[in-house]
Structure 1
């Protein structure tokens, strides 16, 4: 009887799954399904491949194989290959200026340190076990600019500015303490600190007091550091290149999202004054080109200021870009809010949530997820639109690329610098677009969820 049961179990034992046929999976199957599924598709694939082969081949022949890599002037490049190949020595000589503008070469480490700090600040956002990502992101938006502004500009600091810079140092330390505690210890930084001090068993009031004292001591140490910290001043007139482009676009992108959310909520508000003011702001800045707004803020704004008041030119450009970007972002967010079904609002009300709680917990997260492609598209457009600041005398990346061809040694060298600029813009825009697609798939909002 036992043998019969064993034979039956052996007969009905599931067989291991076999691999899919070669014709249904793998690169060949993908090509057959996507590139050669029918005759028109195959013809378009062959035509596209031919165009790609010709274009890429011509670019490589001009930029790599037929290029000049060592020369003292553009005349030597023309004598060597004429206009058939690229002249890269001029670009290499001007590359530091294309990145940092006229920033003193011995001080560019401050710019590098500032952007490295930003990367380290947002790195915990990509750690899987870190749960305080919202707080870390908010701290980067609110505190990092104070720290970075002193590194980039330097000079004498008033007491109030030292307080803000110290807050930036305190925030950076708090971010990494929080990230390490949650990533490796699996608990909030407060519990880790209490455990290190042997105060885990203390009363709740005592624990809160200990944590407040520890935070205050850390801030006092950061403030003492700023009091002993002296950096040489570098005026904004020396800022330029990719550095200036990232500063203007970064501040504009950072400001536009929260400001756009507030403006969108204000435009949909039931309070007439709030709705009217928000609508007027949005329509005013959306109805005027950015170039006009830059001219207005650069030339007209000082006329409305008290006599003797001098507003930094870079600050004027940043304010103009921020206002323009916030108006466009407000309409994007409003579109997302209108896409939320009425039932979501009613469900929030049935749970007893007020306006702000329902907006924060239910409505706004859904609206932002829906509008991820439009939001990132707005960011990409703003990043490229910052080239317009060159018309008001700021030497951004495009201006520095144009300056290469105006140098007497490299007079007329324009194609190569602008080719490099195009590649830089492509890398940054493609990175933002790829992150957007990944985030969209992660949140399961896109059509392609594979």
Structure 2
């Protein structure tokens, strides 16, 4: 029997590098937490401290807490008394909106959630039409449903609005309104026409130079002085106008930073192709500039969302104001911690969601070269 020597090695295998252990959970822990003796000791101490704090927080918020009941007598444990939140949950969500008409608020909430999900999920079709409806149709439909007075709907004045619905109304209108105004202001500030540039600079610097509380006072007290006496300017509309103008100035500076980051060659290339100014801006410059400043835009949105609580000073009771008003009830004195923790959790959920979605958009639009 013959043996085929081609199937056998006649030399030793060369030494190979050790397997790469920098991947996965263990690799991440070695690279970031346990890369050396000192880092390992510090990491262990920090982990123990965080675990201790987390255990105490869970004990107060979950294990020793009270969830069921209708009065403060139900709060018998040493932990949190979430009965306070449960007893005032409807007012926290709807404010003083009539109970028989709250289905209209639920429809608006459901439409908002569907639109956000449709625009956020990549594989869903017809995003352009959905975005157009979100910018034009949804605000009109929401205003009709919430305000009423037409199509047989009971009229609910804005002074009865409150709670989370008011917070979301102010935030959504402010976000949708401040972005396009900010884009126009940013383009105007970079304009070569002195008159247009001067107006935009004056507008931006004026609104950035005053605090939002002052703007809300001006919108509530001074704005009606410039309106004919036979026209009633709704208080909520005044606040919405003031918030949009205030944050549009900040948005303009964020977008202007993106415009300045785009090289002149992009504009010159558009001119060489015979494109008009607005075609160059809409097709070449703005898409790149907006992509660069997504973190700044979302940071402005988050600040706007949190500053909706300032409308309390002009008599509008948003979610935080409703919770604070509930704490003045003599039947619930001493439970302010639960109220503020719940409010902080709601704000955190919305702000964290916006932050994570912006990071997803950045990764999706990242066209840079990777090594």
Q: TM-score, normalised by structure 1?
A: 0.75
1:69 to 64, 67, 70: 67
Question: Which residue number in structure 1 is paired with residue 14 of structure 2?
Answer: none
The residue number in structure 2 matching 1:198 is none
The CA deviation at 1:382 is: 0.4
Partner of 1:27: 25
1:445 CA drift (Å): 6.4
Tell me which of 140, 143, 162 is aligned to 1:146: 140
For residues 98 and 279 of structure 1, do their structure 2 counterparts lie closer, same or farther at Cα, with a shift above 3 Å needed? same
Aligned to 1:384: 306
Alpha carbons of 1:72 and 1:113: their partners in 2 closer, same or farther (altered >3 Å)? closer
Match of 1:437 in 2: 359
In structure 2, C-alpha distance between the alignment counterparts of 1:155 and 1:339, rounded to whole Å: 49
> How many residues align structurally?
359
Q: Secondary structure at the match of 1:422?
A: helix
Aligned match of 1:397 = 319
Contact 1:370 1:445 in 2 (8 A): no
Structure 1 CA distance for aligned equivalents of residues 172 and 293 of structure 2: 20
- C-alpha separation between the residues in 2 aligned to 1:311 and 1:344? 45
Among 97, 100, 107, the residue aligned to 1:106: 100
Question: What's the counterpart of residue 115 of structure 1?
Answer: 109
Matches of 1:445 and 1:326, distance apart in 2: 28
1:87 aligns with 2:90: no
Question: In the alignment, what sits opposite 1:335?
Answer: 257
Q: Is the 8 A contact 2:68 2:74 kept in 1?
A: no
Q: Distance in 2 between matches of 1:256 and 1:445?
A: 27
Decide which moves more: 286-295 or 127-136.
127-136
Give the Cα–Cα distance (whole angstroms) in 2 for the partners of residues 421 and 446 of structure 1.
40
Hey, what's the Cα distance between the residues in 2 that align with 1:44 and 1:314? 52
Deviations 1:122-177 (A, max 9, x none): 54434545665344313311221111111111113xxxxxxxxxxxxxxxxxxxxx
Q: In 1, are the aligned partners of 2:74 and 2:83 still within 8 Å (CA)?
A: no
Structure-2 residue corresponding to 1:421: 343
Equivalent residues of 1:153, 1:234 under 8 A apart: yes
Instruction: Compute the displacement of 1:310 (Å).
Output: 1.9
The 5 A counterparts of 1:124-135 are 124-126=118-120, 128=122, 132-135=126-129
Give 1:417 deviation, angstroms. Answer: 1.1
Alignment of 1:148-167 (within 5 A): 148-156=142-150
CA separation in 2, counterparts of 1:317 and 1:291? 10
Provide closer, same or farther for how the CA distance between residues 285 and 154 of structure 1 changes in structure 2, counting only shifts above 3 A: same
Separation (CA, whole Å) in 1 of partners of 2:101 and 2:251: 36
Aligned mates of 2:126, 2:185 — CA distance in 1: 26
Alpha-carbon offset, residue 262 of structure 1: 0.5
Shift of 1:121: 3.6
Question: Which consecutive residues of structure 1, in runs of 5 or more, have no partner in the other structure?
Answer: 12-19, 157-228
TM-score, length-normalised on structure 2?
A: 0.90
Check 1:418–1:44 CA distance in 2 against 1; reply closer, same or farther (3 A cut): same
Q: Classify 1:153/1:257 alpha carbon distance in 2 versus 1 (closer, same or farther; 3 Å).
A: same
- Call closer, same or farther: CA 1:309–1:116 in 2, change over 3 Å: same
CA displacement, residues 6-41 of structure 1 (integer Å, 9 cap, x when unaligned): x89xx9xxxxxxxx9483433222211221112343
CA gap 1:130/1:415 in 2 versus in 1, 3 angstroms: closer
SS at match of 2:330: coil
8 A contact 1:404–1:414 mirrored in 2: no
Cα deviation 1:66-108 (Å, max 9, x = unaligned): 222344433553xx34xx4211111100011111111122221
CA contact (8 A) 2:22 2:30 kept: no
**Segment drifting more, 117-126 vs 57-66:** 117-126
Q: Structure 2: how far apart are the matches of 1:233 and 1:250?
A: 22
RMSD: 2.4
Which residue does 2:218 correspond to in 1? 296
Q: Describe the SS at the equivalent of 1:409.
A: helix
Look up the match of 1:284.
206
Corresponding residue for residue 371 of structure 1: 293
